[in-house]
Amino acid sequence: MTATFALIHLAPGDPFAGALDDPRVTQAVRDHWRHVYGFDRSLPDQYVRFVAGIARGELGYSIARQEPVRTVLARAIPNTLVLMGIALLLSFGLGIAIGVVQAMRHGSLTDRAIGAITLAGYSLPDFWLAQLAILAFAVWLPLFPAGGVVDPVMHPYLGPLAAALDRARHVVLPALTLTVLSAAAVARYQRSALLDVAHDDYLRTARAKGLSERQVMLRHALRNAAAPVITLFGLALPGFLGGQVFIEKVFAWPGLGALAVDAVATRDYAVVVAVAIVGSVLVAIGSLLADVLAALVDPRRRTGAIARPLPPVPLRV
């Protein structure tokens, strides 16, 4: 929070830079509005007021949008959660499945080919992939709308079923773009986690019991290799918020990410801070969720017998 405050005040300009720094506006007018919103006070003074406001649960007022930050957030959060939820589910489902297939064919041509693809997916710039997706599936092959949550013209006239379909069509491209980017990371984690346990004795015991390779994988290996992927899941929750910043902007998806981009551009301090707070709440929720999941999967973690290991590669979603 303090870091957010410091960063945004280090950036040049203030919320009135665009509107008031016009040479035709007199200095008196500028000073008047800056005084009304408190930007003529000293930074330490502004900081104290900032912290006090947040402590009271007041998120403040968006100058750029001329409405309370609470209202702005309430509109953006559901959009972000829908996109995040779908993309999280898809990318972890798909990523784990890919990792399992790779680990079962470890060293084969299939494994290496998929490895090359996931490495590419892992290193693609998100905004580039997003624009490519729009170009491919909205312009060249116009299967899906290029942006927005619903059809801006027709949506109010659609029946309930058609309206739901309209929403679904709009979520496809941004969700798929996010999924491609993060499923690649999940697959790489899952594969390396499975290879880490591949030589463990209990898998040999499972084979000695008469289990098929697939049963050995799904009943024993996957559960023992869950920890790194669960840790990744906990980090992915806030990570997706960051990953969605550019995706939402490109797809004109009115969520927290797009909101953050606009707020920074217009020096809308209160909104930037509010988004940062939502981000830190997601960090806490993600970490809590990861701990709960890890304890569910591994009984030794319930008693603190072993600690949650750190993920083997840095996170990028």
Partner 1 sequence: MSAGLATPASAAPLLSVRDLRTSFRTDSGCARAVDGVSFSLRTGETVCIVGESGCGKTALALSLLRLLPPTATIAPGSSVEFEGRDLMALDASGWRAVRGARIGMVFQDAMTALDPVIRVGDQVAEVVRIHTPAIAPGAAWARAVDLLTLTGIPGPADRAHQYPHELSGGMRQRVMLAIALAMHPALLIADEPTTALDITVQAQILALLGELQRQLGMAILFITHDLGVAAALADRVIVMYAGEVVESAPAELFFAEPHHPYATGLLRALPDLSHPGDRLAVIPGAVPSATDWPRGCRFRERCAFAWSRCEAEHPPLYAISAGHESRCHLAAEPGRRVVTAASTA
**Residue 210 CB, nearest approach to partner 1 (Å):** 4
Establish if 205 lies at the interface with partner 1 (CB under 8 A): yes
Contact 52, 141 (CB under 8 A): no
| 274: phi then psi, degrees, rounded to nearest 5 | -60, -40
Give the shortest CB-233-to-partner 1 separation in angstroms: 17
Nearer to partner 1, 49 or 223 (CB): 223
Residue 193 or 247 with smaller CB distance to partner 1: 193
Neighbour-count burial of 127, counting CB atoms closer than 10 A to its CB (0-12 exposed, 13-18 middle, 19+ buried)? middle
Nearer to partner 1, 128 or 202 (CB): 202
Cα gap 176→166, rounded to integer Å: 16
213 binds partner 1 (CB under 8 A): yes
Considering beta carbons, is residue 44 or 210 the nearer one to partner 1? 210
Q: Does 220 bind partner 1 (CB under 8 A)?
A: yes
Under the binding rule (CB under 8 A), the answer on residue 208 touching partner 1 is yes
- The torsion angle over the Cα atoms of residues 215, 218, 224 and 230, rounded to 10 degrees, is 180
Bridge partner list, 68: 61
The 3-state DSSP class for residue 61 equals strand
Nearer to partner 1, 299 or 314 (CB): 299
Q: Where are the alpha helices (DSSP H) in 105-225?
A: 109-123, 126-134, 160-197, 201-208, 213-215, 222-224
**Min separation Cβ 219 and partner 1, Å:** 7
Q: Which stretch binds partner 1 (CB under 8 A): 3-11, 196-204, 250-258, 308-316?
A: 196-204
**Nearest distance, CB of residue 201 and partner 1, angstroms:** 4
Using rule CB under 8 A, residue 212 touches partner 1:
yes
**Which one of 32, 49, 105, 204 is in contact with partner 1 (CB under 8 A)?**
204
Helix, strand or coil for residue 55? helix
224 contributes a contact to partner 1 by CB under 8 A:
yes
Q: Which residues contact 211 (CB under 8 A, 6 or more apart)?
A: 219, 220
Q: Which residues contact 306 (CB under 8 A, 6 or more apart)?
A: 298, 300
Say how far apart CA 249 and CA 252 lie, in whole Å: 5
- Shortest Cβ 237–partner 1 spacing (Å): 24
- Shorter beta-carbon distance to partner 1: residue 191 or 220: 220
Provide, rounded to whole angstroms, the least separation between the CB of residue 306 and partner 1.
Answer: 9
Residues 250, 131: contact at Cβ < 8 Å? yes
Q: Which one among 23, 156, 210, 304 touches partner 1, defined by CB under 8 A?
A: 210
Q: Which residues bind partner 1 (CB under 8 A)?
A: 199-202, 204-213, 215, 219-220, 223-224, 297-300, 305
